[in-house]
Structure 1
């Protein structure tokens, strides 16, 4: 319950900031052009708070925190009474360039906000993990190229790779280009080697790309000593206890807790004999491995967690990394990061349309709220990174040439500028209906993905 409330609160804070900044972009540019603003609303539905400022603008905080809007003086609105002296300030009477600028300002402010957050993060220091890989599965592209567990990815095509987050973004970017990539790899003995991997052989879906590559973060071996037994799970039913050391499964040695997890995952629903050490004596316990299907395929699980150790933090110390830059370098990195995320979002949307990327990657408010909660729990840096990422996504989404969105209105404005007159009201109304239909379909897909993730 507390986790749910924490996620909801984090989501409301994040969306509130992003919506406010987006709508402030429309508001600020409209005011700079002398256009009269009637209402500035954060949220939809019933107003929770409302105040009319000295400037005549009604400021509103509404019940549903999933968006907002800025209402401008417009003669086309049937319910608006316009004084003759205000006619020059009506939005519909503005030159097309000004109207386009007002629509573009919202997404532009989302990009500006992302740049600002990334700039602060790079100056304070972005923590991460060094791109040291675990043992690639046999048959994966990394294993075929000769990479082994403990190798560190130093660079891709001369682009330095300091952390796993940078590696993921750069590999996804290159995978979308479907070409050979030169991996500069540092082996555990210090020797460096360059290997080429054809990313065209990997699926570009973000969920599947690293599976095809066989790249996963290296985990320091954790002793296979039971620290927690989940009540009602397979291990509990079989009689495993805290303090038991798992030695083997059906005679196959268990070298670490990660090895235990790997062996169990591959055997859903099977009967296995766990060789254990308990209080200095060897025993064998029969376990019927449980089955987890929440990830779309059957995976074995028994309900065990490892014993926490006083030195556990030290196991990861050598793998930690931090990217910290001066103000100018941080500004450059922030611009690059915002551009890269924007470009990746557009390319992934296109790949989703043509079927290369699963529509399961479309997230709704529930999954976004969960991500907001996780990032907030991880610290202010992780939360700001999350907000910056969502801010870029909102900016890109609103620039899509779909009527009802800023991008659709910009498209109408461009067509008007080219042809010298506005589109007919009938064409604009048909476009609005099409845009509404597309948005409802997209919202339905997002909510469907949310529901299936919750059920899973």
Structure 2
């Protein structure tokens, strides 16, 4: 219940911020161009709060926080007093109408840059792209635990998330990925992951896993939480011991302990278990006991600690001036990724399951808010940029569709006919309804048990 309420709250906050900035862009430029603004609404439906300023503009916060609008004086929407016709939107020069319509998405781009600048000032903390245990194609490509991925296909990466995105894009394009890694000893190597060999219809959210990769931060340390009385480990191991090796085989995570214990049991006889106990490193003798109910058929009588999340080991943080170009670079990368994903959706290289609606946005907002202010700022920046790109698409009913109409008007020297514009609005409405239907379908499908 707490997660549900948190998701709803953070979605309202996120959309409220983005919609307010978007509509303020339209509002501010319209006022500068001498257009009378009748209403500035954040949300749709029944007004919850209203206020009117000295210019006659009604400011509204409405019940449904899933959008907003700026309503301007326009002869196409009703009778306009002759004295006010000069302040009607439709009577303004075409370049002013273009500026007013473009101002909304532009405001979202500016907000994205400001949020990224603030994020880099705070410092975005994350886990490095250091590998845990590898298998499958990753092992065949000569990648090893402890390697840190520094570059994928010429794209520098710092964090596991950046590496995962780059690998996923390569897999969607059905091509192999060139990976540069830095080994634990400081050695640079190149490897090629044959992602083009992944089967058709692969799960795009699991590309690193399908490639045989795991991340170092996901590995739970093998710390003893409990020792069973009368078990082989009783009197040998103690709660708090960190297991470092079993029978000469190093242990990097708790998941490795049970298989190594089973292998020691099958070998027969005692073996040495190396542990870290406070400041001391100890080598202790241990003989597993056969137990059909235990994983692997052998047990020593210890339970591993659930562990806690490790500390972040990379942080992207800059001063006030250096954060400006960093924000611009990040916005450029996000734009390229977003446009690339749109292209892949259209060409069929990416699954339509990647399209999400309000539920997906709400869950992402809640998850980012839980991670801290840096990640919530990043989420807002990504959402703001996505809103700008969506609105720039030349789809009638969106800002980009209106811009298309006005560009055609500039070329032909006269506005499009009402018939053509109305037909375009119907087409745009159908496209938007289809996109929203797909997003809601994916949201609902994502909530069903699998």
Task: Indicate if the aligned counterparts of 2:73 and 2:87 stay in contact, CA closer than 8 A.
Answer: yes
Equivalent of 1:371 in 357, 364, 367: 364
Task: Indicate if the aligned counterparts of 1:224 and 1:260 stay in contact, CA closer than 8 A.
Answer: no
Aligned to 1:324: 317
Aligned to 2:111: 113
Cα displacement (A) at 1:34: 1.1
| Change in 2 beyond 3 A, CA 1:173/1:327 | farther
Aligned to 1:453: 446
Cα displacement (A) at 1:364: 1.0
| Change in 2 beyond 3 A, CA 1:342/1:159 | closer
Task: Indicate if the aligned counterparts of 2:222 and 2:257 stay in contact, CA closer than 8 A.
Answer: no
| Change in 2 beyond 3 A, CA 1:225/1:339 | same
Equivalent of 1:440 in 433, 440, 444: 433
Aligned to 2:183: 187
Aligned to 1:49: 49
- Structure 1 range deviating more: 399-408 or 153-162: 153-162
Equivalents in 2 of 1:375, 1:321: separation in Å?
17
Equivalent of 2:125 in 124, 127, 145: 127
Aligned to 1:348: 341
Task: Indicate if the aligned counterparts of 1:37 and 1:57 stay in contact, CA closer than 8 A.
Answer: yes
- Structure 1 range deviating more: 351-360 or 148-157: 148-157
| Change in 2 beyond 3 A, CA 1:95/1:261 | farther
Equivalents in 2 of 1:39, 1:287: separation in Å?
69
Deviations 1:79-120 (A, max 9, x none): xx4222211111111122211121111111111111101111
Q: Secondary structure at the match of 1:388?
A: helix
Q: Does residue 12 of structure 2 align to residue 12 of structure 1?
A: yes
Aligned to 2:162: 166
Cα displacement (A) at 1:21: 0.5
Equivalents in 2 of 1:103, 1:225: separation in Å?
62
Equivalents in 2 of 1:43, 1:425: separation in Å?
28
Equivalents in 1 of 2:414, 2:203: separation in Å?
43
Aligned to 2:35: 35
| Change in 2 beyond 3 A, CA 1:125/1:55 | same
TM-score using structure 1 length: 0.78
Aligned to 1:270: none
Equivalents in 2 of 1:260, 1:388: separation in Å?
42
Cα displacement (A) at 1:181: 5.3
TM-score using structure 2 length: 0.79
Task: Indicate if the aligned counterparts of 1:26 and 1:106 stay in contact, CA closer than 8 A.
Answer: yes
Task: Indicate if the aligned counterparts of 1:254 and 1:260 stay in contact, CA closer than 8 A.
Answer: no
Cα displacement (A) at 1:41: 0.1
Task: Indicate if the aligned counterparts of 2:355 and 2:439 stay in contact, CA closer than 8 A.
Answer: yes
Deviations 1:179-233 (A, max 9, x none): 6654331112332223345665568985254345443322344338679xxxxxx
Q: How does 1:300-319 map to 2 (within 5 A)?
A: 307-309=305-307, 312=308, 316-317=310-311
Aligned to 2:374: 381
| Change in 2 beyond 3 A, CA 1:425/1:261 | farther
Equivalents in 2 of 1:261, 1:88: separation in Å?
80
Equivalents in 2 of 1:68, 1:320: separation in Å?
41
Q: Secondary structure at the match of 1:401?
A: coil
Task: Indicate if the aligned counterparts of 2:220 and 2:306 stay in contact, CA closer than 8 A.
Answer: no
Equivalent of 2:331 in 338, 346, 359: 338
Task: Indicate if the aligned counterparts of 1:225 and 1:257 stay in contact, CA closer than 8 A.
Answer: no
For these two proteins, the number of residue pairs brought into alignment is: 393
Identify unmatched segments of 5+ residues in structure 1: 228-242, 248-252, 264-279, 289-304
Compute the RMSD of aligned alpha carbons.
Answer: 3.2
Equivalents in 1 of 2:203, 2:414: separation in Å?
43
| Change in 2 beyond 3 A, CA 1:454/1:177 | closer
Cα displacement (A) at 1:50: 1.1
